[in-house]
A = this chain, B = another copy of it.
Amino acid sequence: MPAKVVGGAVRIIAVGDELLEGRTADTNSRWIQQALGSHSVQVSLIQVVPDRQEDISLALDRTEAGDLVFVTGGLGSTPDDMTRDVVAGWAQVELIEDPSVKRQLKERWEKRGIKSSPGAVRQSLVPRGMTPLTNPVGSAPGLVGRLRDRMLVLLPGVPQELQGLLLPAVRWLEGNGALPKPRRTMLWRTAQASELSLVRSCSGIRGNFPTLDWSWWLTDWGVDVRLVAGAGKAGGGDLAAAGEMVDEILGRLVYSRRMETLPQVVQRLMLDRNLTLGVAESCTAGLIGGSLTEQPGSSGFFRGGILAYADRVKTAQLGVPAELLVDSGAVSEETVMAMADGCRKRIGTDYAVAVSGISGPDGGSPDKPVGTTWVAIATPSTVFARRYRFPADRQRNRLLTVAAAVDSLRRVLEFGDEQPPWQPSDSWCRPS
């Protein structure tokens, strides 16, 4: 069971007309939940309310003494931004101009050659009893402090500003006894395995360590497994022992033990060894290249590729023999291997990734149903290929193809090309 915050619950109030009009989705609550993850406290209520004094005030009334309350949005410099005024009114405390915030805002404006405005002055007002936290990204400071027996955390609604202030805010809460001690956590980011297969693999370990909290999160790349130590003293020891067992069981399914993405891992592995990469994409038509170049610095390893959507492009640009396409079809082991090999040679790279599949909804046959997808990895000495059968709709099948291709490359880079990067136990590859 997750611990409670000291005395109460965690509640989030997201302020903003745009959140209620459907223009913007509330993504900030997710960041707050993630930042609180290692404290093993759970949010018990999120309220999304418009930029209106009475609605914000009512939302504050719906919190209880002892609660830890996050309020996001409404800290900017326009008249719509009224969170700090409403909080001060609700708690019946004055708004005081904070000289250090005022100085920081002034310096910020001067650096940009802007004269200070009445709005800027409003941003230096702090409800008595609250502490300002410097905003590393924008102008509005975060505000933390205990008012009316709640611990309040006011954060800007702009996602980057909120994200920049979350760590300082959580540190401040820890230092002021508003959060239970962070528990030790371990993370395994996995790809090419279903949530169900991971839960099953870990069920024995779960039975042996009942003090640990497990969680399973779907990501763009696969499933994250998170293990949080129990509250008692035994917790730390249990975590270490269970962690070793998880390491062993998950093995090559794990692409990272920290919060990095699969393209970040591949980029690191390629740059470390000064390797180059090309891609040959049929069904994904560029999504693999697009995701491998998300990170700055990707030009250090990514050279380019061929989008071979039509068969004629596979032949002309990748050198896939026309008779091979006729005999085996575009979605086949032979074709995808020829695509990878051709790409490596024509783009002139150390490695190449190729994919060819039937994303749907049309194009399936009894032999090759929708979701049938081949992935190949060409290395300086060999070419590996594997068939997947993805179970989803067109959009999701294409994203699963990207994840499978990038993770298969990651495995070859990590474990070498003496053996194929797949194992019969990989749940994504199992014939359906």
Q: Which residues of A are in contact with B by a Cβ distance under 8 Å?
A: 19-23, 25-27, 29-30, 32-34, 37, 42-50, 55, 62, 215, 217-218, 279, 281, 284-290, 292-294, 296-299, 302-310, 312-313, 316-317, 346-348, 360-362, 394-395, 398
Contacts and interface: CB of A to CB of B under 8 A. Distances in A.
Contacts of A290: 284-287, 290, 398
Contacts of A362: 296-297
A217 B17 CA distance: 13
Contacts of A347: 313, 317
A107 B23 CA distance: 40
Of all A-B residue pairs in the complex, the 5 with the closest CB atoms, nearest first, are A286-B286, A22-B33, A286-B289, A304-B313, A46-B48
Contact of A307 (B62, B279, B294): B279
B313 A309 contact: no
A62 to B, nearest CB: 7
Nearest to A48: B46
A427 to B, nearest CB: 20
Contacts of A307: 279, 286, 289, 304-307
A307 B307 CA distance: 7
Nearest to A282: B304
Contacts of A302: 285, 309-310
A215 B303 contact: no
Given A33-B20, A55-B44, A294-B395, A304 B317 contact: yes
A292 B303 contact: no
A30 B285 CA distance: 30
Contacts of A288: 286
Contact of A312 (B296, B298, B303): B303
B306 A306 contact: yes
Nearest to A348: B312
Contacts of A360: 296
B48 A20 contact: no
Given A23-B218, A285-B298, A317-B317, 5 more contacts: A22-B29, A44-B49, A45-B47, A302-B310, A304-B310
Given A217-B23, A303-B309, A346 B317 contact: yes
A313 B352 CA distance: 14
Most chain B CB within a 10 A radius of its CB, from A218, A279, A304, A348: A304
B62 A48 contact: no
Contacts of A292: 285
Contact of A21 (B26, B42, B50, B284): B42
A293 B303 contact: no
A283 to B, nearest CB: 8
B44 A50 contact: yes
B303 A310 contact: yes
A303 B311 CA distance: 8
A227 B301 CA distance: 48
A293 B290 CA distance: 14
Contacts of A27: 25
10 contacts: A21-B43, A45-B48, A62-B62, A279-B307, A294-B395, A299-B309, A302-B310, A304-B309, A307-B307, A313-B347
Nearest to A27: B25
Contacts of A294: 394-395
Contacts of A22: 29-30, 32-34, 37, 43
A396 to B, nearest CB: 11
Given A30-B25, A285-B290, A310 B305 contact: no
A287 B303 CA distance: 15
A315 to B, nearest CB: 11
Nearest to A49: B45
A299 B361 CA distance: 13
Most chain B CB within a 10 A radius of its CB, from A32, A49, A307: A307
Contacts of A21: 33, 42-43, 215
Contact of A310 (B279, B299, B312): B299
Nearest to A394: B296
